[in-house]
Amino acid sequence: MKMIVGLGNIGKEYDKTRHNIGFMTVDALADKYQAMFKQDGQRHAFVADVRINNEKVLLVKPTTYMNDSGDAVRPLVDYYKLDLADLLVVQDDMDMDLGRLRLRQKGSAGGHNGIKSIASQLGTQKFNRLKFGIGHPAHVHQAVVDYVLGHFGKDEQPDLLAGLDKAVEIFEGFADGEEMPMLMNRFN
């Protein structure tokens, strides 16, 4: 079994914002496989499961808000007795161009509070991540918070959709048992 966790914030005001790109990526995979999310209140998440080449894949959207994502991820990892090699967390990254993707097997949170929370709850920084570039504010004076909580513009749609399509390819390779170093060579 594999688990793909998309990071984001719940609530209509955050729907389809840059900070919620993690939710958008798991939604794209769920849409492709016609999976429905159900609330798992005990483990603070919306969860859907899909089968990709006979591998069960849990798609997870924490309901804890970004800064407490570990409060959802840790209980799910424990409940499903998941090896951390079978976990992939999707986060937004402002330091990369929109739609650019980068896989990592470990590393610091780099200021990302959702990743900090997960690392703290898991007791390690060694877990798979997919960083999804959301770009950086065009104007130096534009507040970063306003930017990450803002919506994608029409001119950004082609890069956004290309990134989502590529993320789905990565998820399918991950679910199919492709090792992370091979996925990294193929997609980074």
Q: Annotated binding residues, as ranges?
A: 14, 65, 67, 113
Instruction: Specify whether 141 is catalytic.
Output: no
Binding residues for tRNA: 14, 65, 67, 113
> Residue 102: in which H helix or E strand, if any?
strand 101-104
Pairing of strands 128-133, 87-93: parallel
Whether residue 38 contacts residue 46, with contact meaning beta carbons closer than 8 Å, is answered with yes
* Structure tokens, 86: 């079978």
User: Which one of the listed residues 19, 112, 136, 141 is annotated catalytic?
Assistant: 19
* Structure tokens, 53: 């080449």
- Select from 98, 188, 187 the least CA-distant residue to 134: 98
Angle, CA 61 vertex, CA 157 and CA 115 arms, to 5°: 90
- Select from 108, 27, 8 the least CA-distant residue to 67: 8
Catalytically annotated residues:
19
